[in-house]
């Protein structure tokens, strides 16, 4: 009986995920978020790439955060609805850390 309930619960979660993936409104919202994140990361790349010569060490933490943001955006592009929000939270935390590291590197 307990295994049957677990199976039904898992089947329900799977059905929920499948229905969310098939939901055009969810897909549109996810695509919009990923597109905005890509533009944002592109702007951060320009800031890091514009670092004055000889300032590489000051930008090391920002570069590391930026690389992590790149990886997370790539994962967001292909993830399913079940994992999207968790990756989104990771991206937002990493982006916030990147902003702080950029400000510090730029002396702001």
Question: Tens digits of per-residue pLDDT, 44-88?
Answer: 999 999 988 888 899 999 999 999 999 999 999 999 999 999 999
Q: Assess whether pLDDT exceeds 70 at residue 15.
A: no
Alpha helices in 23-80 (DSSP H): 24-49, 60-78
Q: Which residue has the higher pLDDT, 7 or 91?
A: 91
Kindly list the distances between the CA atom of residue 50 and the CA atoms of 18, 45, 74, 102, 106, in Å, as whole numbers in the listed order.
Answer: 43, 8, 23, 11, 10
Nearest to 99, CA basis, from 50, 66, 60, 75: 66
pLDDT score for 27: 94
Identify the pLDDT of residue 50: 92
Q: What is the pLDDT of residue 16?
A: 45
Cα distances from 25 to residues 12, 29, 40, 43, 89, in angstroms, run: 21, 6, 23, 27, 20
């Amino acid at each position: 009986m307990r295994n049957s309930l677990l199976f039904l619960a898992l089947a329900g979660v799977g059905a929920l995920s499948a229905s969310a993936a098939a939901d055009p409104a969810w897909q549109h919202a996810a695509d919009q978020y990923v597109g905005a994140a890509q533009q944002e990361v592109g702007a951060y790349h320009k800031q890091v790439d514009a670092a004055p010569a000889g300032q590489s060490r000051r930008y090391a933490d920002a570069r590391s955060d930026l690389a992590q943001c790149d990886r997370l955006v790539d994962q967001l592009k292909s993830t399913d609805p079940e994992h999207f929000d968790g990756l989104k939270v990771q991206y937002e935390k990493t982006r916030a850390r990147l902003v702080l590291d950029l400000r510090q590197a730029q002396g702001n």
